[in-house]
Amino acid sequence: CNETCIFSAVRETLESRGVLGQLKARIRAEVFSALDDQREPRPPLSHENLLINELIREYLEFNKYRYTASVLTAESGQPEVPLDRQFLANELKVTEDAGSKSVPLLYGLVSHFVNSDKGGKAFVRGASLPAGATASSTVPGSDA
């Protein structure tokens, strides 16, 4: 077996173990980090951003979007270890039944508002922004 044959065998083994995708995601995350403009500091990871990122990470991992989840974690500064789901539910003041625990919290939140029988719209208050941040620097597409 030549070098190409060995490389192919290693690649197949890494793919079958699910490691190759993780390595690619980690490399992408490191490339994004290296290319990231360090002159423009990110706002600190606020409590709200921590919760939002965790909702998104739970959704991504549930749907097997592991590469995207790993880049989110690396780019956002989110802790590597996911937050405890019960802690997350408590922080969001969400009460779950047995069936809702099998899907990400984000599904339940969206379902609650989509299926709300009140007919009206939810009133959403603006959260406080991290020091030095503006709405246009933290909300994509914002013209504030």
Average pLDDT over every residue of 24-31: 80
Q: In this structure, is residue 32 part of a structural domain?
A: yes
Q: Is the residue at 13 inside a domain?
A: yes
pTM of model > 0.75: no
Q: Which of 40-49, 71-80, 114-123 has the lowest mean pLDDT?
A: 114-123
- Its domain, for residue 21, covers 1-36
Position 123 in a domain = no
Residues in Cβ contact with 63 at an 8 Å cutoff, skipping those fewer than 6 apart: none
> Exposed/middle/buried for 69, CB within 10 Å: 0-12, 13-18, 19+?
buried
Domain count, the chain: 1
In a domain, 31, yes or no: yes
Does 117 map to a domain?
A: no
Q: pLDDT (tens digit, 9 = 90+) per residue, 85-139?
A: 999 999 999 988 888 889 999 998 998 888 877 666 666 666 555 555 544 444 4
- In angstroms, the CA 45 to CA 51 distance is 10
Neighbours of 129 (CB within 10 A): 15
